[in-house]
Amino acid sequence: MHIRDVFPFTFHGFRYRSPLFRLFQLRMGKTGFIVSGCWLTIAIKRFMIFKRQEARGKRQEARGKRQEARGKRKQKARKTVVFERVCANFVGEEAFRRRRALPGTGVRNGRSGVPSDLSKGWAMKRITIFLLGVALVLYIKTVCFAAPAWEVSARQWESKGSFDYLLFYPYSAQMESLVRFPQNQSLILVSLRHNLEDGRHFIYLEYGGSNPGLKGRGSDSDWTIYGDDTLTYYGEMDGWGQVNRLTVEGGTLLARNGIWTVTLLGGWSRQETTNELKNIIYHLIEGEDVGNQTQPDNGSRFDGVLSGYHFGIGNNLELNPRIHVNMKTALTILSARANGHWANHDPAWDWVDTGNGLGFSGGLGMEYALGEKLLVNIRYDYFYANIPGCKEALNGEALEESVGLRYEQAGVFLGLNYRF
C-alpha cells in the first residue's frame, strides 16, 4: 500500500505532495500539532481497514479451497460406491461380500474399499469387455444408421439345370462315361443388403436353398470300347436331394451418368448339391438292348460342392422413378469337390473328385416400386461352371483317367423387397 492511497487528495493550485511532507511545511505550534495528529490518525485507521479486508479475503480463499477438496472427496467416494455395485452385479452380491471380507482386499479402518482382487482380476476384464461392446455398438450405429438404407428381400427361383460327371480315357479326349444328375428345383432365397454413403457402396448377404425332393430324371451313358464311339451302356434314374447356396458380396460405384450407373462387384459364394439315385433302369448293357432292367435303390448317390471368389460388373438403368432395369455379369474362380457312391457293384465304388476351374454367371431383371419402401422384382439368372482335369481317387486309389465336372443352372426369380 502506497502513501498516496492513504491521502489521495491535494490542495487546489499546488503541485501534488504527500500529506506527511506538507506536515513538515506547517508552522510549529498548537494548530500544527492538532492538524498533524488528525492526519496521522486518519492514515492509521485507513491502513488498518485495508489490512482487515486483505485478511478477510485470504480466509475466504482458504475456505473455498477446503470446500473444493471436500467436494472432490465426496465425488471419489461416490465413484467407489458405484464401482463396488458394478463389481457386485458382475460377480454376485454374496461372492462380492465374501471377497471384500478377506484380508488384503482393501478394508481399512473398518471401512471397505474396492477389493484389489476384483479390480485386478476377471471382474475388471468383464467390465472392460462390456465397455468395449458398448463402444462397438455406438460405432456401428453411427456408421451404419447415419443414413438408413437397409433392404431385405425374399425370392423364389424356379431353376433348371444339371450336374454332370465326365470320365475320359487316359491321355485321350475320348469320353468313357457321362452321368447327368438333374437340378430342377424351386429355391427360396433370403437376402440382406446395406447401402453406404448414399448408395456408392453396398454389402450384400444371401442364403437359401430347396427342400429335399425330386430333381428330375437323369441318365448314365458309357462307351467302354476304346477308340470306338459305340454306346455300350445306357440307363436312367431319378435324382433326389436338395440345393443350398450362400453368397457374400460387396460393391462400389464406378460411374454414374444421369439415369445409368455402373458398379464393380466382388465376393465369395458356395453352392452344395446332394443327389440320391432312385428308380434306376438300364436299357442297354454291353451293347445289347435289355428293355427295362431295374436295379435296387440301395443308397447310390453323387454329391458336390462348388465354392470360390467372383468378380463382375453390375448395371442399373432408371427408366422412371418406379421402374429400374438391372444387369449383372461375373466371372468365378472355382474350387470343386464331388463324392460318389455306387452300391450296385461288388465291391461298392466310392470315389472323390477334386479340381479347380472357372464359372460364369449373368442376370437380367427389372424392379418396380409399389411404394417408397416396397418393391417387386423379376429376373432371369444363368450360371455355368466347368472344372476339367479333376483328380479322382476310387476306393482310395488314384486313377489315371481324367475327370471333368460340369454344373449348369438357370431360371426366373420372382421376389419382394422391403427397404428401411
One-character DSSP codes across 119-157: HHSHHHHHHHHHHHHHHHHHHHHHHHSSS--EEEEEEEE
In the prediction, which pLDDT does 35 show? 65
Query: With contact defined as beta carbons under 8 Å apart, do 375 and 368 qualify?
Result: yes
> What pLDDT is stored for residue 138 in this prediction?
65
**How many of the other CB atoms lie within 10 Å of CB of 7?**
19
| Residues facing residue 309 across a β-bridge | 268, 333
Which stretches of 183-227 are assigned E, i.e. beta strand?
185-196, 201-209, 213-222
Q: Which residues, including other chains, have CB under 8 Å from residue 254's CB and lie 6 or more apart? A: 262, 263, 264, 313
How far apart CA 236 and CA 379 sit, in angstroms, is 32
338: which strand partners? 304, 353
Note whether 359 and 332 are within 8 A (CB). Answer: yes
pLDDT of residue 362: 96
Instruction: Note the pLDDT of residue 139.
Output: 63
Spell out the residues 6+ positions from residue 166 whose beta carbon is closer than 8 angstroms to its own: 175, 177, 178, 403, 404, 405, 406
**What pLDDT does residue 258 have?**
84
**Residue 152 is placed in which grid cell?**
431385405
Grid look-up 465426496 returns 74
Task: Please give the pLDDT value at position 319.
Answer: 93
CA angle 188, 140, 151 (to 5 degrees): 30
Q: Which residues of the chain have pLDDT under 50?
A: 1-17, 21, 23-24, 26-28, 102-120, 147-148
Query: Is 0.85 topped by the overall pTM?
Result: no
Cα separation, 242 vs 113, whole angstroms: 63
Per the DSSP assignment, residues forming a β-bridge with 266 are 250, 311
Query: Any bridge partners for residue 341, and if so which?
Result: 301, 350
- Which tens digit of pLDDT belongs to each residue from 5-23? 444 444 344 444 455 545 4
DSSP 258: T
In this prediction, residue 9 carries a pLDDT of: 43
Quote the Cα angle for 78-138-151, to 5°. 155
Nearest C-alpha neighbor of 98 from the set 87, 108, 82, 83:
87
**Residue that is written with C-alpha cell 463382375 in the block:** 312
Q: Are 336 and 163 in contact (CB under 8 A)?
A: no
